[in-house]
Amino acid sequence: KILQTLASRLEELGIDTQQPGGLCCPLQPIVPSPVINGYRNKSTFSVNRGPDGNPKTVGLYVGTGKGQNIVCVKANHIEHIPLKHKQVAQCYEDFIRRSPLDPCLLFHTGGHWRELMVRTTSCGHTMAIVTFHPQELGQEALATQKSLLKEFFTCGPGAICALTSLYFQESTMTRCSHEQAPFQLLHGEPHIFEEVLGLKFRISPDAFFQVNTAGAEALYRAVGELGQAGGDTILLDICCGTGAIGLSLAHQVSKIIGIEVVEKAIEDARWNAAFNGISNCEFHSGKAEAVLPQLLSSWEDAQPVVAVVNPSRAGLHYRVVRAIRNCKSIRRLLYISCKPEGEAMRNFTELCCPPDPGKKLTGDPFAPTLAIPFDMFPHTVHCELVLLLTR
């Protein structure tokens, strides 16, 4: 449907893609995930009222806001969440049920205990991040809560989780970056480590990492093949997170340039490069819309460039699209999206439409060339789409 929508958008702009089934380009079969159950390496559990009315229930929301029937249910029946995550969630629930402090159900009605994030890796590491609304608590009272939480997970009943890292974030907003509300390490190691395609990756609490590690390996392998990037090519890894895509392809190209907005993820990417002995790379921290136009404005056209973009659901900023489109050296572009029906569709259209000087889209248009969906999220309807665009 996405490829059909793109075909009809392009047709409206006078570009006839003429593929069977009304698609904008050939579509390969879905690449299966090597792991189907318990594949998630990151789970986020909410705290709210359960079906029995207990407001200290740790789990996932079901119901709808419109139907006013949202409840928080334990995640024990969810097949894509590994047992370890469920164990940490259960322990956190036990902890907050013993705590005299209230849960924070709505920010303005008070309460403290908020969501729990659990991250695990194939080397057996487990990171737990507890979010806490400080409300009016002073430093001393906060310190007491942190020490009770630490004690519970290190020498109390929570010790069965054998956490590698326990983080605490005092946060008054829905989602806060490390810069807005620092992740405070209460116990253990500051990072956990994951292996992808033979490389070791360090992961900070707020750095993005694909939630299905085995699925990510299949994805990165395909990116390497589709990019057709040779030894003289520069690979631009836009929205690079901890650098996983670029670093896994560093051996086949002349240089990797990664751009990422989360500062800690860039620190991880630099560490990952150094640890794995990869020196043909540079990582820029900042918004791609600020970094990329500047980087490409002084670009020598001689060297071929393959661009890989893997933005969050919000898609790419218009300035990023414009910079890519107007850089003649970029002949191949791999757009990887977990939500291709949203903002990404707008990006596809801007990348493929006829030149439009009014919008400063002067470079030749890209053409959708091949689409491959990856079953990155088994047990859900979502999939990760790789769209190869060439010109």
Ligand X SMILES: C[S@@+](CC[C@H](N)C(=O)[O-])C[C@H]1O[C@@H](n2cnc3c(N)ncnc32)[C@H](O)[C@@H]1O
Element spanning 343, H or E = helix 343-352
**Do the beta carbons of residue 50 and residue 72 sit within 8 Å?**
yes
Of 101, 127, 288, 327, which one interacts with ligand X (CB under 6 A)?
Answer: 288
**DSSP state at residue 37:** S
Note whether 245 binds ligand X by CB under 6 A: yes
Phi, psi of 21 (to 5 degrees): 75, 10
CB of 25 to ligand X, least distance (A): 22
**Measured from the CB of residue 262, what is the shortest distance to ligand X in angstroms?**
4
Largest CA distance in the chain: 68
Interaction between residue 259 and ligand X (CB under 6 A): yes
CB nearer ligand X, residue 81 or residue 336: 336
Catalytic residue among 338, 352, 353, 383: 338
What is the distance between the alpha carbons of residues 234 and 329, in angstroms, rounded to a whole number?
10
DSSP state of 31: B
Taking contact as CB under 6 A, which single stretch among the options 7-15, 113-121, 237-245, 266-274 is the one that binds ligand X? 237-245
91 catalytic? Reply is no
- Considering the complex, what minimum distance in angstroms separates the CB of residue 244 from ligand X? 4
Indicate the pairing of strand 199-203 with strand 234-238: unpaired
Q: Which of 369, 122, 99, 360 is nearest to 228 (CA)?
A: 369
3 state SS for 77-112: CCCCCCHHHHHHHHHHHHHHHHCCCCECCCHHHCCC
Neighbours of 96 (CB within 10 A): 23
Per rule CB under 6 A, count of chain residues that contact ligand X: 20
Contact between 296 and ligand X per CB under 6 A: no
Judged by beta carbon, residue 197 or residue 261, the one nearer ligand X is: 261
> Alpha helix locations (H) across 173-243?
213-227
Show the site string, 192-211: x = touches ligand X by CB under 6 A, - = not. ----------------xxx-
User: Residue with CB nearest ligand X?
Assistant: 241
Residue 228 sits at φ, ψ, to 5 deg, of 45, 40
Residue 108 CB, nearest distance to ligand X (Å)?
29
Find the binder of ligand X among 31, 128, 223, 239 (CB under 6 A).
Answer: 239
Q: Which residues are annotated as a binding site for S-adenosyl-L-methionine?
A: 210, 260, 310
d(CA 165, CA 369): 44
Smallest distance, ligand X to C-beta of residue 19, A: 27
Beta strands, E only, 197-299: 199-203, 234-238, 255-260, 281-285
Given candidates 265, 323, 344, 353, which one binds ligand X under the rule CB under 6 A? Answer: 265
Contacting ligand X (CB under 6 A), which of 49, 97, 255, 287?
A: 287
Under the criterion CB under 6 A, does residue 310 sit at the interface with ligand X? yes
Distance CA 62, CA 105 (A): 15
By CB under 6 A, what part of segment 366-385 binds ligand X?
none
| Amino acid at site 130 | V
Q: Cβ closer to ligand X: 115 or 237? A: 237
Query: Of residues 73-92, which lie at the interface with ligand X (CB under 6 A)?
Result: none
**Nearer residue to ligand X within complex by CB, 177 or 280:** 177
| Residue number, 274 or 314, with CB nearest to ligand X | 314
CB of 245 to ligand X, least distance (A): 5
Q: Which of 118, 129, 244, 353 binds ligand X (CB under 6 A)?
A: 244
Phi, psi of 290 (to 5 degrees): -95, -40
Catalytic site residues?
A: 338
Residues of this chain that interact with ligand X (CB under 6 A) are 208-210, 239-241, 244-245, 259-262, 265, 287-289, 310-312, 317
